[in-house]
Amino acid sequence: MLPSASPAPPVFTLAGRPLPPIVQGGMGIAVSGWRLARAVSMLGHIGIVSGTAIDMVLVRELQNGDPNGRLRVLEDYPDQAYVSWLRDTFYVEGGKAADAPYKLLPIHKFGNPTVRSQQALAAAMYTEVRLAKEGHNGLVGINLLAKVKRHTLAALLGAILADADLVVMGAGIPIEEAEALQKLAAGEAARLRLDVDGAAATDGPFYYTLDPSAVVPGYTPHPAPAFFPIVSSDALANILEKKIVPGGFAGFIVEHHTAGGHNAPPRNKGVDENQNPVYDRRDEANLAKIAAMGYPFYVAGGYGSPEALRRAWAVGAVGVQIGSLFSLCDESGYPDNYKQHLIREIHLGRAKIRTDGRASPTGFPFKVVEVAGTLGLPELQRKRTRICDLGYLQNAYLDGKGKLQGRCASEPVDDYVRKGGRAEDTDRRACLCNGLAANIGLGQQQKWGEEQTFFTGGDDLVNLPLGSAETPHYSAADVIDYLMAAPVAPVVSGDGAAVAAPELA
């Protein structure tokens, strides 16, 4: 299907349609939820829902009385026995009491995952994609973090069942995932290799496996969505091209380290005195080399302006993937009062972005919004009581009996050390699971109080061109209109010559 054989300038298609210039980037947890993806998709661009922790979103929403009508969407889900269990176990008519804690799903296991955990994920992903696809024919994709291995296969299965058009995956090197996507779509069991802390080569290899027909009884083959890995360098794009199964990917998203969310670590491994990453010229992907590979690609990270869109076109990209601007628009998953607070503080010059080398337990740099009233302020983060009750970012390790278990550098330090982890690895770690759940209004009521928010955004978020301190809101359509506005300056190609911006389809 991709790329097409057309002469330059290349015209790439997906699901029979020309690829549009804007991808609304996947933003977890549920910041790019179905409402945002649907809005962007209906405007003719690509809407991406996040698959990260989507099972948690589903069961918490059911406990809030199912405000998004997910049980209705599940009426045509192929596994009605599971849907009944889900309803009986989590649905609370009218919603739980505000101060009651959410009932939790068991933490997804590494060794022998329970089919029930996989069912929760598949059903949740299904609802998210189906909601995003309702009432239009636009392109809708899902975003997953390759690093979060245990949750990938079931989320892919749910997306396949819901006819997602594409899968975008970063935070890792998704070679096996590309093959797994093909296998799952074909109804075959798939597996991903697990990295296990401290395991000797002779202990492994260790795999996480999923059999579609065990998770969704009666599963029949479906078309596979197109696969777009996220890369930070032309070198990685080259590796993926060589190692991914033939036909296993459609194109690339090339993400710069200014992007919101997790970032690739610097190639020089440089850190400053606060152990935050220091990037240099080696971290700039060679876009000309990527263009020469002949696949469609989008550029991401700091491309949230009409000039940047023209710059992207000038280097041969199909367009841009935008996160930060969409993260604060009316349709994003943050509650309105949080968005208004963030937009106001940004316009008043009171928000800062730091690229934090320690915050994420994954070890990847993570962009943190430092803004009043949130755990982005280090002094508030330090005071948070540690708990690991969601476990999405746990790493696998072998316990004394040689059994695969999970541990997270953001869990209580004593627990982490008891599980064989090093105390220094827990320093300054934040709990992304609970913080990001709080960001979308699904924060847990812990025994000691409610989990607090912890926002992320790209370096450019502080120069927000939309909304104002007086009118702290704007829509997804405003973002698109802004990006597609006529360029204010001529686009200049690499050799300094002015070039015309390509016509839009």
Residues lying near ligand FMN in the complex (CB under 6 A) are found at 25-28, 31, 50, 52, 143, 145, 170, 230, 255, 258-261, 300-302, 304, 321-324, 327, 456-458, 460
Taking Cα atoms as reference points, which of 404, 451, 447 lies closest to residue 150?
A: 404
Is the CB of 66 or the CB of 331 nearer to ligand FMN? 331
| HEC assignment per residue over 126-160 | HHHHHHHHCCCCCEEEEEEECCCHHHHHHHHHHHH
In the complex, least distance from residue 127 CB atom to ligand FMN, rounded to whole angstroms: 18
Is the CB of 20 or the CB of 170 nearer to ligand FMN? 170
Is the CB of 164 or the CB of 216 nearer to ligand FMN? 164
In the complex, least distance from residue 500 CB atom to ligand FMN, rounded to whole angstroms: 25
Is the CB of 192 or the CB of 393 nearer to ligand FMN? 393
Taking Cα atoms as reference points, which of 158, 172, 149, 460 lies closest to residue 322?
A: 460
Is the CB of 20 or the CB of 212 nearer to ligand FMN? 20
In the complex, least distance from residue 179 CB atom to ligand FMN, rounded to whole angstroms: 20
Calculate the CA 431 to chain-centre distance: 16
**Residues 149, 192: contact at Cβ < 8 Å?**
yes
Taking Cα atoms as reference points, which of 283, 322, 293 lies closest to residue 305?
A: 322
In the complex, least distance from residue 317 CB atom to ligand FMN, rounded to whole angstroms: 13
In the complex, least distance from residue 448 CB atom to ligand FMN, rounded to whole angstroms: 26
Cα angle for residues 151, 153, 155 (degrees, 5° grid): 65
In the complex, least distance from residue 45 CB atom to ligand FMN, rounded to whole angstroms: 14
* Distances, alpha carbon 255 to alpha carbons 237, 262, 376, in Å: 11, 10, 23
Distance CA 136, CA 163 (A): 13
Is the CB of 229 or the CB of 357 nearer to ligand FMN? 229
User: Cα torsion for 9, 15, 20, 26, to the nearest 10°?
Assistant: -130
Specify the residue for token string 């060589």: 242
Distance CA 457, CA 459 (A): 7
What is the sign, positive or negative, of the torsion defined by CA atoms of 70, 72, 77, 82? positive
Is the CB of 49 or the CB of 396 nearer to ligand FMN? 49
In the complex, least distance from residue 316 CB atom to ligand FMN, rounded to whole angstroms: 19
